[in-house]
Amino acid sequence: MGDDFYGGSVDVWAIGCIWAEMLIGKVFLTGDSQIDQLFKIFQVFGTPTNATYPGLTKLPFWKTTFPKFKPLGFQKCFPIASPKCLDLLEKMLKVYPRERISVRKALEHSYFADLKPPQKPS
């Protein structure tokens, strides 16, 4: 929508999308053009508002005429995912980039608590 903010949150979004694809076994958010891609995002996450995306109406490509979708909910999109998985994925796929979890915080998430560090070969 023309937001010029660019940082690590863009990479977190990409990782979240790849993870989502691994969970569902197919491409996630399959838009065939920029506007179709945007609407696919809205269909899953809900059409953003100024409450969910501060400054939204000031973005250069935002249109008040965009369709108003309600969020589907992560449980519906990823029914096989555990609650911890859903929690982390939801934090990675926040539409408003400044609210997205950082890589460092993602790695500290309880989803990874049961992982053991790799063993060094003996």
Find the domain containing 56 and state its range.
Answer: 8-110
Give the pLDDT score at 97. 92
Q: What is the CATH number of the domain that holds 33?
A: 1.10.510.10
pTM of the full structure = 0.87
CA distances, 10 to each of 66, 77, 97, 102 (Å):
23, 21, 7, 10
Give the pLDDT score at 98. 92
Output the six-digit token pair for 22. Answer: 């691994």
In a domain, 19, yes or no: yes
Bigger pLDDT: 48 or 7?
Answer: 48
Give the pLDDT score at 87. 96
In a domain, 59, yes or no: yes
pLDDT tens for each residue of 59-80: 998 999 999 999 998 899 999 9
Number of domains observed in the structure of the chain: 1
